[in-house]
Amino acid sequence: MTPKIGVLALQGAFIEHERVLESLGARCVELRKRADLNPIDSFDGFVLPGGESTVQRKLLRELDMLEPLRDAIAQGAPVLATCAGLILLARKLERGEEVALGTLPVAVERNAYGRQLGSFQRRIKVGDCEDFNATFIRAPQIVEVSLDVRTLAVVDGKIVAVEYRNQIALAFHPELGGDSRIHQFFLARVAA
């Protein structure tokens, strides 16, 4: 059966995720307004793309999409979140910044690499994927995790990818490096 993936398309790098997911046989539906979420149980999973998390959070709230998404994720809908998406999921943000969905029990620091290291690529190990070409763009870091969160990747001593129940969250952009293994991993979770 073709999985139906809701891709948050308010802002940021959503088209790149759609291309990868569609190349793997998924059907993507762009989520731009609340009605796009109906019926919410018709979705097999969700993608929260990178971009600017403060803008995404404001739009989600203004468009009344925060609650239905939060409920779906809290009830177990698989989600793949990258960069700004990770920030939206985090239960706690450093410097007391406002939390959006709050379903992932981690603390996140935004723009953790500062200005000089705004963007960079690294070949890293992510879970069982060796040598993954990870693109970091003004990336956050995960600075605290609760006990039941599984760390998938560490770079320079900092956690940059985690899995918690139905939620996979990455500080980097897996959709930009021409390597679809993380999306395959997500779709395998969706199918399970």
In the complex, the residues that contact ligand GLN under the rule CB under 6 A are: 50-53, 83-84, 87, 110-111, 137-138
Short-list 169, 39, 150, 159, CA closest to 100: 169
Q: Closest CB to ligand GLN among 26 and 108? A: 108
Active site residue 83: yes
Q: Is 40 exposed, middle or buried, given 0-12, 13-18 or 19+ CB atoms closer than 10 A?
A: middle
Positive or negative torsion for Cα 108, 110, 116, 119: positive
Active site residue 173: yes
CB 171, min distance to ligand GLN, A: 9
And the tokens for 39?
């019926």
Q: Closest CB to ligand GLN among 44 and 160? A: 160
CB 38, min distance to ligand GLN, A: 27
Q: Closest CB to ligand GLN among 44 and 65? A: 65
CB 147, min distance to ligand GLN, A: 26
CB 39, min distance to ligand GLN, A: 29
Short-list 181, 108, 185, CA closest to 144: 108
Cα–Cα separations (whole angstroms), residue 81 to 13, 115, 116, 128, 148: 11, 23, 25, 18, 18
Q: Of 28, 129, 175, 183, which residue is the catalytic one?
A: 175
Q: Closest CB to ligand GLN among 38 and 116? A: 116
Q: Of 17, 83, 129, 183, which residue is the catalytic one?
A: 83
Active site residue 129: no
- The residue behind tokens 């739009």 is 59
Cα–Cα separations (whole angstroms), residue 163 to 21, 86, 88: 19, 11, 15
Residues carrying an active site annotation: 83, 173, 175
